[in-house]
Amino acid sequence: MHDYVGEMNAPASTAATPSQRQRKPDWIRVKAPTSPGYAETRKLMRELNLHTVCEEAACPNIGECWTKKHATVMILGDTCTRACAFCNVKTGMPRPVDLLEPEHTAIAAAKMGLSHIVITSVDRDDLPDGGASQFVKVINALRRETPQTTIEIQTPDFRNKPESSVAAIVDARPDVYNHNLETVPRLYPTIRPGARYYASLRLLESVKRRDPSIFTKSGVMLGLGEERMEVHQVMDDMRSADIDFMTMGQYLQPTPKHAKVIDFVTPQAFDAYAQIARAKGFLQVASSPLTRSSYHAGDDFERMRAAREAQLARVKAG
């Protein structure tokens, strides 16, 4: 998976007392989710037995996104086989794959009238294909039930799985293939110990090589102790893997058991990173404290599509 985490919805049992928490700057504060749109989205997800990364990862944007009926569906259950230091999704032995999940996801997208849907998943190291075939089934069900909806997937790294796993997903032709690098390579051993930075980069490169028409996307969390030049290096690495879209957002500690926030990056610093990323040639960049890879994903997809068309037109015009 994933999207990065927040803390608003951290379960009561694991929520920290204010004294245990680092005080958040004003630019991080968000409103509690109370709108009718929020309640409807929640009801629909429960009825269809679907999980969302919005809830499981305790995303701070849930009030805004669910009010607009935009949710990121998390397939393959609610239990992850990895235990990343930043992520609020529970870890353990997952339940068997829900065979109705593809159809239910498509029904949810149709009922919500989504023009763009984001699908992510937990890591399923226990499955021979890492859960790739379920991604394919979900994409196929969405194409069948709601053909006008564009599809963005955020997948695990499929580490130690056959190459055919990723190939099968690419061949199902999602519009956007996202896999988050999450942080700079130096911090992988503590923040993302089950993953390998260069393996994740190679995955995104292989997607682009197999089908250049698919947009590729990746993101990092800031505030985990990374240095500015290390973030610039990640941008260069992403560009050399031909990644189209980069996201950057503030890491928030979901519970005291998770990695600490080392610093709160200012909105101005996020803007400066965005400028540098644009200069490095990404088609699309999203960078702000509350940016998450699925935040405003539909609007950003349209901008990215327009940017590619403009780029192609320039090439044609010579």
Contact residues for ligand SF4 (CB under 6 A)? 3, 53-54, 59, 61-62, 65, 70-72, 292, 294-295
Nearest CA to 8 out of 218, 293, 271, 292 is that of 292
Tokens of 166: 């990723």
Closer to ligand SF4 by Cβ: residue 115 or 133? 115
Smallest gap, in angstroms, from Cβ of residue 162 to ligand SF4? 29
E-strand ranges in the chain read 51-52, 72-75, 79-80, 90-91, 116-121, 150-154, 176-178, 215-222, 245-250, 284-287
Smallest gap, in angstroms, from Cβ of residue 249 to ligand SF4? 9
Strand 51-52 vs strand 72-75: parallel, antiparallel, or unpaired?
antiparallel
Smallest gap, in angstroms, from Cβ of residue 231 to ligand SF4? 21
| Whether the Cβ atoms of residue 235 and residue 216 lie closer than 8 Å to each other | no
Dihedral sign from CA coordinates of 230, 232, 238, 243 = positive
Closer to ligand SF4 by Cβ: residue 10 or 241? 10
| Whether the Cβ atoms of residue 260 and residue 231 lie closer than 8 Å to each other | no
Q: Which of helix, strand or coil describes residue 312?
A: helix
Residue 137 parent element (H or E):
helix 132-145
Smallest gap, in angstroms, from Cβ of residue 55 to ligand SF4? 8
Smallest gap, in angstroms, from Cβ of residue 261 to ligand SF4? 18
Smallest gap, in angstroms, from Cβ of residue 89 to ligand SF4? 11
| Whether the Cβ atoms of residue 238 and residue 218 lie closer than 8 Å to each other | yes
Smallest gap, in angstroms, from Cβ of residue 290 to ligand SF4? 8
Tokens of 228: 């500015």
Closer to ligand SF4 by Cβ: residue 181 or 241? 181
Closer to ligand SF4 by Cβ: residue 158 or 295? 295
CA distance 120 to 53: 7
Closer to ligand SF4 by Cβ: residue 54 or 181? 54
Closer to ligand SF4 by Cβ: residue 120 or 165? 120
Closer to ligand SF4 by Cβ: residue 120 or 200? 120
